[in-house]
Chain A
Amino acid sequence: MSLLQAKQEATAAQLSGTTVPAGAGWITSLREDALARVRQMGLPTRRDEYWKYTRPETLVEAAVKPAAPFKHDEAPLFDEINRLKIVFVDGVFDADASDDLPGENLTIERLADVAQADIHWAKDIYGALETKGQTPVDRPLAAYNTAMATDGVVIRVTGEVSRPINLIYKHESDVSDVVLHHVVKVEEGGKVTLLENGPAAARFNNVLEVEIADKAEFHHVRAQGRDHERRAATHMFTRLGTESVFKSFTLTVNGVLTRNDCVIELTGDDAIAHVAGACVGDGDFHHDDTVFITHDAVACESRQVFKKVLRNGATGVFQGKILVKAGAQKTDGYQISQSLLLDGDSQFLAKPELEIYADDVACSHGSTSGAIDEEGLFYLRARGVPKDIATDLLTLAFLAEAVDEIEDADLAGEILGRLEGWLERRRG
């Protein structure tokens, strides 16, 4: 029996009796189609090419591994930012905790409501970008999400939105198993910033589909919560029009398992896509960034900057690919993934890939793994800075290169504050 057949049989067994949630006709057919695709491709196993370094079992198995919500006394992230709050508690929209939804140049609806509407513009995006992102690499957890998600937000941006939209996830139940699916459509000339933060659930499957029209901009800053035992598989799928901009940054602090897939398709000329991440892991921590960027237009720029600080046996994974299609001339692709290993127990696994079918492109990639720079450490100590503080300063400097990718200084400041907090707690 082939690997695919074995996967299909195992998936069929696991999903026997699974039916898609009730909804209007258009979404039911999209959900059923997605579930059929999951059965066809099979749920991920360790033998899949893109799951070599990250064990998918606990993300896939029917029963969720319990994870206690983590209590801490840090002020909520983005608290200092004037933003529109949308709160989900264990994956369910909490209207009381959320702000009033409509805003200027903006409509926001719950997926739960949209799914009941006879007809909705979201039908052209919901599951469509996800489906497109299944080629050439299967992402069955995303298809599963499209099939099973019952909540999320559906956002349409028609102009410049002055304050960020903040999706706040709260984890309360030990056994919450949450599937959320968000759709964002930024229309021509529109501009919006989306913030996401919080641990969401014991197990979280999140999909964000973002359609960015010509000359539109989408900024995204995300922080995945500190809950130690939580698990998450997230996917971002985005398609960019001419002269559009996509910039996304993710901070991951702890969490026993986090897999972040980012799939970007540059379809209009002169578009810009940046994706960055900083993660800090201590002990039983596994973090995987998997990025796939397709250049399918002329003179687009893509940039990937990923930094990981690992200690006490933590594991970091980076799988990043730039695919330049024939005709995507003048492509400017850049990718860097680096890890700072604070001890000998931690590991960083990196798989950078370039696949280029155009002849007039500039693509570069680099990946490094190393310890604290001894020269820098001595220099700081010779000026009187104690070793632990000097180490933190150098660690923060290492991460700052990823945080610098955030355009908004206030948002970058919030993220840096979290990183400083992490370092400080470790210093005791």
Chain B
Amino acid sequence: MLEIKGLKVKLEDEDKQILKGVDLKVEAGKVHAIMGPNGSGKSTLSYVLSGRDGYEVTEGSATLEGEDLLDLEAEERAALGLFLAFQYPVEIPGVGNMTFLRTAVNAQRKARGEDEMSAADFLKVIRAKAKTLKIDADMLKRPVNVGFSGGEKKRNEILQMAMLEPKMCILDETDSGLDVDAMKLVSEGVNALRSEGRGFLVITHYQRLLDHIKPDVVHIMANGRIVKTGGPELALEVEQNGYADILAEAV
């Protein structure tokens, strides 16, 4: 599904190398988690994959089902089936949540040469999906993320994911700012989307999210590289001992 090879990335404006050779392969149907201390490059990886400006790829490649991602615009990557759930969802005053989502769904369909979804069909689908995420009609009408609580914003990210039905989902610290109940709700939303054909890359600081979204593979990232890969037990090890031991071992 997603294949990253020897990816090296620096900031566009300054000579600062952030990713120093990342290799990673997420298969369809699998959930991979990336854990790592602050500043290890986890969020940068998610931004580079989704096409945010400000980064320069100096070496390596990233492909989604064999298609080169790095040459594509952000919207083209999305249409291919890549989805990033933002750590900090952006507030967009003046654009209604519903308008935003319908524009996005239909833009992706159009890019893939599919028919656009009618307003009535869209409404039917979004209502059902919103309900399971406990997103009420008012939240759908309000401007995108404006005045939403931390939990509402993250739920809104998962709703977008559910509507867009991507092949590859990257969740960037989706647990940050969530209380226990909200984390459970969001995790259930994610779990409902797990399927044979879909890959997940879950970026998180803490093991607790992985209690709810059970990963198949856990990677530890430090200083711009993946330093260790293992099963779910690796996350528990981090939880108990911190990163210090693993990092020492990696050096």
Chain A residues proximal to chain B, CB less than 8 Å: 373-376, 378-387, 389-390, 393-394, 396-398, 400-401
Report the minimal beta-carbon distance from B112 to chain A, rounded to whole angstroms: 10
The residue in chain A whose Cβ has the minimal distance to the Cβ of B95 is A397
Contact yes or no, A376 B92, CB < 8 A: yes
Contact yes or no, A397 B92, CB < 8 A: yes
Q: Is the interface of A mostly helix, strand, loop or mixed?
A: helix
A381: B residues at CB distance < 8 A: 51, 73-75, 78
Tell yes or no: B52 within 8 A of A by CB: yes
A376: B residues at CB distance < 8 A: 90-92
A383: B residues at CB distance < 8 A: 75, 78, 100-101, 104, 160, 164
Given A386-B75, A387-B75: A380 and B104 within 8 A (CB)? yes
Scan residues 33-68 of chain B and give those whose CB is less than 8 A from a CB of chain A: 50-53
Partner of B94, one of A375, A378, A396: A396
Bound form: Cα–Cα A379–B172 in Å: 14
Contact yes or no, B75 A384, CB < 8 A: yes
Contact yes or no, A374 B92, CB < 8 A: no
Tell yes or no: B132 within 8 A of A by CB: no
Q: Can you add 15 more A-B contacts, CB < 8 Å, to A396-B94, A397-B93, A397-B95?
A: A374-B53, A379-B89, A379-B144, A380-B92, A380-B100, A380-B103, A381-B73, A382-B84, A382-B86, A383-B101, A383-B104, A384-B78, A384-B79, A387-B75, A400-B94
Interface flags, B156-193, vs A, CB<8A=1, else 0: 00001000100000000000000000000000000000
6 contacts between A and B (CB under 8 A): A378-B53, A383-B100, A384-B104, A385-B103, A389-B103, A393-B100
Tell yes or no: B1 within 8 A of A by CB: no
Contact yes or no, B75 A394, CB < 8 A: no
A380: B residues at CB distance < 8 A: 92, 100, 103-104
Tell yes or no: B246 within 8 A of A by CB: no
Report the minimal beta-carbon distance from A164 to chain B, rounded to whole angstroms: 26
Contact yes or no, A394 B92, CB < 8 A: yes
Bound form: Cα–Cα A386–B74 in Å: 8
The residue in chain B whose Cβ has the minimal distance to the Cβ of A401 is B94
Q: Find the residue from B79, B86, B100 having the highest chain A CB count within 10 A.
A: B100
Bound form: Cα–Cα A55–B105 in Å: 48
Bound form: Cα–Cα A389–B103 in Å: 9
Contact yes or no, A385 B94, CB < 8 A: no
Tell yes or no: B123 within 8 A of A by CB: no
Bound form: Cα–Cα A30–B86 in Å: 66
Bound form: Cα–Cα A379–B84 in Å: 9
Bound form: Cα–Cα A398–B94 in Å: 7
Report the minimal beta-carbon distance from B143 to chain A, rounded to whole angstroms: 8
B125: A residues at CB distance < 8 A: none
Contact yes or no, B108 A384, CB < 8 A: yes
Contact yes or no, A397 B94, CB < 8 A: yes
Contact yes or no, B160 A393, CB < 8 A: no
Contact yes or no, B94 A382, CB < 8 A: no
Interface flags, B73-117, vs A, CB<8A=1, else 0: 111011100001010011111110001110111011001000000
Report the minimal beta-carbon distance from A85 to chain B, rounded to whole angstroms: 32
Report the minimal beta-carbon distance from A393 to chain B, rounded to whole angstroms: 6
B89: A residues at CB distance < 8 A: 379
Contact yes or no, A385 B75, CB < 8 A: yes
A385: B residues at CB distance < 8 A: 75, 103-104, 107
The residue in chain B whose Cβ has the minimal distance to the Cβ of A378 is B52
Bound form: Cα–Cα A104–B53 in Å: 61
A396: B residues at CB distance < 8 A: 94-95
Report the minimal beta-carbon distance from B237 to chain A, rounded to whole angstroms: 33
Bound form: Cα–Cα A218–B10 in Å: 59
Scan residues 141-163 of chain B and give those whose CB is less than 8 A from a CB of chain A: 143-144, 160
Contact yes or no, A382 B108, CB < 8 A: no
A382: B residues at CB distance < 8 A: 50-52, 74-75, 77-78, 84, 86
Report the minimal beta-carbon distance from A200 to chain B, rounded to whole angstroms: 31
B103: A residues at CB distance < 8 A: 380, 385, 389, 393
Bound form: Cα–Cα A376–B92 in Å: 6
Q: Find the residue from A384, A389, A398 having the highest chain B CB count within 10 A.
A: A384
The residue in chain B whose Cβ has the minimal distance to the Cβ of A374 is B53
B160: A residues at CB distance < 8 A: 383
Bound form: Cα–Cα A243–B49 in Å: 58
B93: A residues at CB distance < 8 A: 397, 401
Contact yes or no, A394 B95, CB < 8 A: yes
Q: Find the residue from A378, A381, A383 having the highest chain B CB count within 10 A.
A: A383
The residue in chain A whose Cβ has the minimal distance to the Cβ of B91 is A376
